[in-house]
Amino acid sequence: MKPGKEYEKFIYEKFREFFVGFEVNLNDKILGKLSGIKREIDVSVKGKVNDFDLLYIVQCKDHIKPADVKIIGEFSSVIKDLGASKVFLICSSGFTKTIHQYAKNLGIELITIEDINSTKWKAEIEIPILYIWKKLSINYKPQIKVTPELAERNKTKIILSQKDFEFVSVDNGHTSIRLIDYLNDKIGAEKIDITKITSLVLDNPNLLLKFAELWIPVIFTIGFETGEIFYLKYIKPLEYSQIINHVTKEIMPLKIGVNTLHFKFDDTFIEININDSPISSPVLIEVEENLYPINEINFDFGDITMSKVNP
């Protein structure tokens, strides 16, 4: 295959990937509106948007030197003849800066397309993965209502432990559930975003706490404190191709393929200050830890308050 034809085929395949649902043709022949003759276009894209017929035309140049004003001039007559909605001039070696404004005035997009797996038109890129580790500190303050049974039990010394605040019941002690599971059930059922609240009150009138071997009425105030730590690493993608707009300097990814094993947090990530570490890349993958369900609750025995049960 001739070098120029090979490049046209490369661009055609990339446009097929990008313009899904459109008709993409290689070496298309389109009748000129002004000349009445068929113009051969390297790649064309045809389709309808809101009942309007769209025609994008693409001219491919696999040149050693950047495209110059002569190529723009030759292409401009084709543009006028076909009345295309959008026009792309693609050159493997880029473009001279002197033609940027000229192309812009004619409505021509000056782009190159690169692929990480191409030997000739290779994209050199490492993709940053930003791992956001969510810090969640949860503490709970129980307000225990003292029943006559608890008052009697309290005449002797009660030694408290974490187990005295582990189980609750809502059916008068017939069945029990761990406090942390009860909390997760409530958060899930009510779709509570714990990153946007600082406290949550568990005040179900039927809520009982297994305390000192007794089922005691209780109200819990759960406090939430959240934060974030940022970690970063760069990886080589399995698949990647991109469009570079030489006038606007924008880079638009066409296709990305990465190994999801890289998303798992390990010692290849390094901690960064997100405010002092600007990430310069057309692609950024963010992996964020989920704070729900909650796996651990901290308890301070000094936070217990007691009140009498109303007769």
Instruction: List, for residues 255-269, the tens digit of each pLDDT value.
Output: 899 999 999 999 999
* 81 domain residue, yes or no: yes
Strand, helix or coil for residue 242: strand
Among 3-7, 21-25, 102-106, 152-156, the least confident range: 152-156
Same domain, 194 and 304: yes
* 28 domain residue, yes or no: yes
* 228 domain residue, yes or no: no
Q: Is the pLDDT confidence value at 157 over 80? A: no
Same domain, 191 and 47: no
Terminal-to-terminal C-alpha distance of the chain: 95
Same domain, 99 and 145: no
Residue with tokens 């046209």: 8
Quickly state the pLDDT bin for 49 (edges 50, 70, 90): confident
Strand, helix or coil for residue 306: strand
The three state secondary structure string of 157-180 is CCCCCHHHHCEEECCCCCCCEEHH
Same domain, 109 and 144: no
Q: Is the pLDDT confidence value at 166 over 70? A: yes
- Out of 85, 115, 145, a domain closes at 115
| CB 77 within 8 Å of CB 57 | no
State the DSSP H helix or E strand holding residue 41, giving kind and residue range, or none if neither: strand 38-49
Q: Is the pLDDT confidence value at 298 over 90? A: no
Query: Which domain range does residue 163 map to?
Result: 137-223+297-308
Cis peptide before 128 (omega within 30 of 0): no
pLDDT digits (tens, 9 = 90+) for 211-251: 888 999 999 999 999 899 999 999 999 999 999 999 999 99
